Amino acid sequence: MAARQIAIGIDSSTQATKALAVDVATGELLGEGRAPHTVRGTGGARESDPEQWWQALCTAVAATGHADRADAVSVAGQQHGLVTLDAAGSPVHPAMLWNDTRSAPEAAALVQELGRDEWARRVGSVPGASFTVTKWAWLRAQGLTSGVAAVRLPHEYLTERLTGKAVAEPSDASGTGWWGPSGYDADILELVGLPFGLLPEAADRNPKSLAAHAGAAHSTGPLASGRALVAVGAGDNAAAALGLGLTPGQAVVSLGTSGTAYALTRGRPTDPSGVVAGFAAADGTHWLPLACTLNCTLAVDRLAALLGRDREAVEAGGSAVVLPFLDGERTPDLPYASGLLHGLRHDTTGGQLLQAAYDGAAYALLTALDQVLEAGSEPPSDAPLLLIGGGARGRAWLETVRRLSGRPVQLPAATELVALGAAAQAAALLTGEEPAAVARRWQTSAGPVFDPVPRDQETLDRIGVTLAAAGGLLGA
């Protein structure tokens, strides 16, 4: 009987690192580990120590119980983070995270410099404060780039720690703002004063070329035996798409610290409105247009805490609108926004206010779904809307998405889909399959399907009118 092959997928997210050890042949979960991260910062700042990510990766991988028997490994990481290293490979500054909004003025200036249409044409997206290019521009404006010898994204940094190799791949690099369909955009790098030599080697969009960058694990860390192959990795949303085994046109809504709505498409997205980011998929051939909000489950939980209610204690009815933009917002593009409550009445209940917070958080994601597919020139699929992330396990979130989308909704039984997608990418190095085909063989998207209910257009219209009328109040 052939020896069991083991793949380990790693998800280095905003709050923690998760690792899954998976049987390559069957997809059976053999072990898992988790270690937390610390996020610091007040106001618009959100920072983490990259060295802590590495320590968390080591802890999480060891906790799977299979580190010394892994045949392949892959790291998926939070997008957009700016990691700056000195000549010895040590962090010069704490990493600026995707939800750090200090670079909003630089984002506005960069968009003004090139124009929205030109940004969309060149890199597929109009950069906001979340994009890495604006964070580098902010760091440079503060005079903080001295001593920086290398610039990395989070999963690039961790993969380099494992292998000693620095490689950029399209799914994550396409979220920087300095990467286009042909690789690094030299004009944009010059515009923001980022020397090309600080960036990792660029892999192209050919899947075989991506796999060719796999190498033996480095002699330090949790895979010190050196027997495991290391895949090139992916951005977190692209890894989740692999983990679901997505096919073109399937739509996904992910409810976590941030909210995302995305789909796999055959067409390259270029949305000058900035609502849809034109990311590449991790398979090397497709695209992953995506809309993202900063305020999702944490914002709703904060409202529940302020109201003294359990997060599931919602009530129908009422006329209140809550726009829970507690951390500023990316979609819509309101980096200086704060939360807003409108339409309060004597008979408004706490449960209705909490439901309004759910509605406000879901509104931008669900209204962006059609734009996501349109941006990728992809007709809608008949498949149910896939609902994933921590919020998908909550009944109130599920019912809110059903009511505001009017679509059938499927809840995949598999959890930790980012790590699972990374495991599928690692497994593909061993089997020769496409990573998404590995996930489909593992039946990762299987789960209950909920029939559609009539779309609550009245609530959608009420939120839309409030958002349009709020104007400058949201930037206060």
Any idea which residues carry the catalytic annotation? 236
Contacts of 221 (CB under 8 A, 6+ apart): 54, 57, 58, 161, 162
Distance CA 118, CA 111 (A): 9
Residue 435: name the closest of 423, 419, 447 by CA: 423
**Please, what is the Cα angle at 169 between 422 and 225, to 5 degrees?**
50
Let me know if 463 is exposed, middle or buried by CB neighbors in 10 A (0-12, 13-18, 19+).
buried
In 3-state terms, what secondary structure has residue 48?
strand
- The Cα-based distances of 430 to 137, 229, 424, 448 in angstroms read 40, 9, 10, 31
Which residues lie across from 210 on neighbouring strands? none
- Taking the alpha carbons of 343, 344, 348, 350 in that order, is the dihedral positive or negative? positive
Q: Are 441 and 318 in contact (CB under 8 A)?
A: no
Please give the full DSSP string across 188-236, using - where no structure is assigned.
HHHHTT--GGGSPEEP-S-HHHHHTT-EEPPSSSTTTT--SEE---EEH
Residue 407: name the closest of 393, 391, 386, 388 by CA: 386
